[in-house]
Structure 1
Amino acid sequence: MTTTQQPSTKEDILQHLLKHGRATAQDLAEILAISPQAIRRHLKDLEAEGSIAHKAVQVGMGRPQHMYELTHKGRDRFPNRYDDFAVSLLDTLAETVGEDQVTTILRKQWERKAVEYRSRLGDRPLGERVAALVELRKAEGYMAEWHAIEPNNGDKVQRYILTEHNCAISNVAESFPSVCGHELEMFAAILPDCTVERTYWMIDGEHRCGYLITPRSRG
């Protein structure tokens, strides 16, 4: 029983850090409903293998707390359908036809993907389309989720947040950051009746990419 439980708990820890960025041992113990001592054993193992790292953070007047977060190695444990071959291929293309041409090729790829997504989402209500889009992204290796933002201050517009906690094309994005701009354009093309804004960006050091989806006024 112990052998099967430990990897599962470690994966739960990694999943939580992937979604929330960082956490203390006490936070994780409460969320996963196991003892702080057991959590610290798992954290020690994960840190020893290089999947997580900790920083001392001052909270209030007490002693600094250890705040744990994923390392690059820890993020690499999550689905990533693109590998070094894709980056190598794009590098070769850049050397052969030039970076501008590669950018054009990548844009064409996203335009094709946008057409595919739109045909699969159809003309359903926006909330249903956002939910369906998240499922399509999950199938492609993204840990994606969404939630609705409750209207406030008399605003009757129902907005949505789409979050991706990992990047299935992270290796490509590091070498060709223009693909991130194409992704934003793609979401805007998929949801033509909405304004799509990037709220979080991994390239800027965030632990996730986030998009705010706001329906346009029909007036």
Structure 2
Amino acid sequence: MPLLAELRNNGVVKNTGDAPTTREPVPAPALASVPAALEEQHGTRHRVARSILDHGPSTAAELAVRLELTQAAVRRHLDALVAEGTVEARAQRVYGHRGRGRPAKVFALTDGGRDAFDQAYDELAVDAMRWIARMAGGGEQGEAAVAAFARARANAQAERYRARLEGSAPRDRARVLAEALSEDGYAATARSAPASTGEQLCQHHCPVAHAAERFPQLCEAETEVFSRLLGTHVQRLATIAHGDGVCTTFVPRADGPALTSETTAHATASASTAGRNPA
């Protein structure tokens, strides 16, 4: 019987000859052990995946020895990991003379399975920008160099969105931009702002939040790009990088005042404070 089916079977059938079948409730301690059993299974499954990460593609026999489990138990966990896309089975490479029989099957992490473990991408990004600032001479020159890098990165991202936004009506652009951002992992939405003065572009996830916490130029460049793509000034109200739950950008409604030198200056001023919470 599958594990979940067993866990759902929380009663005991009792037959006594021709007497009607009755079900007696399982004592509370037995029910209390169900979450613990699930947690233990999850923990062991994580240990199997971690062992593959640490030692490379492995056979069930190798995993059983390393983790001091039976091969049958390891195979059950491997089946579950394969089903969820964390691990994939491969034919083991044989170097030199190959004996009789089929090669042993090894299990390796998929790209998704590897991403589930801690990565050093944030640290790498921060180190790279620190290096840029240092090579530019530090101080204001260093900050300007980081800002130039942030703008180049944001401009490259904007080029992928430009065609989609240019083909949409002004009133739809915030929504279209949110859809494009979501495809890049930002989990973005567009919704009406209070008093119907415009819209709020909300990014519920930021892939570069840890780097942006140290280098707000990333948020500033992104806000400048939003302003150009949407054809209006925008104002950053909150950022994940500075402790808010959501990155929120205010976008004036499409039928608002046209861009003028005054509103352009406002857009520039808004972008200059992007990534910093309003006082």
How far 1:106 sits from its partner (Å)? 1.5
Q: Is the 8 A contact 2:178 2:190 kept in 1?
A: yes
Report which of the two structures shows the higher radius of gyration computed on alpha carbons.
2
Q: Is the 8 A contact 1:146 1:163 kept in 2?
A: yes
Q: Is the 8 A contact 1:81 1:141 kept in 2?
A: no
How far 1:196 sits from its partner (Å)? 0.9
Matched, 1:106 2:150: yes
How far 1:2 sits from its partner (Å)? 8.1
Aligned equivalent of 1:115, options 141, 155, 159? 159
Deviations 1:97-153 (A, max 9, x none): 34222221222222332333222211412343222211211121112111124766x
Moved over 6 A (4+): none
- Equivalent pairs counted in the alignment come to 144
Higher RCO (CA 8 Å, separation ≥ 6 residues): 1
Matched, 1:136 2:180: yes
Q: Structure 1: how far apart are the matches of 2:165 and 2:258?
A: 21
Partner of 2:224: 185
Q: Structure 1: how far apart are the matches of 2:204 and 2:213?
A: 16
RMSD: 3.4
Q: Which amino acid aligns with 1:146?
A: A
Q: Is the 8 A contact 1:82 1:171 kept in 2?
A: no
Q: Structure 1: how far apart are the matches of 2:3 and 2:122?
A: 34
Q: Secondary structure at the match of 2:233?
A: strand
Q: Which amino acid aligns with 1:208?
A: V
- CA shift in 2, pair 1:119/1:82, >3 Å: farther
The unaligned stretches of length 5 or more in structure 2 are 5-34, 40-115, 260-279
Q: Structure 1: how far apart are the matches of 2:243 and 2:131?
A: 28
Partner of 1:87: 126
TM-score (ref. length: structure 1): 0.54
Q: Secondary structure at the match of 1:105?
A: helix
Q: Structure 2: how far apart are the matches of 1:128 and 1:87?
A: 35
Pairs within 5 Å for 1:2-17: none
The percentage of aligned residue pairs carrying the same residue is 25
How far 1:90 sits from its partner (Å)? 1.9
Aligned equivalent of 1:171, options 176, 190, 210? 210
How far 1:213 sits from its partner (Å)? 0.7
Q: Structure 1: how far apart are the matches of 2:178 and 2:120?
A: 17
- CA shift in 2, pair 1:208/1:82, >3 Å: farther
Q: Structure 2: how far apart are the matches of 1:2 and 1:179?
A: 48
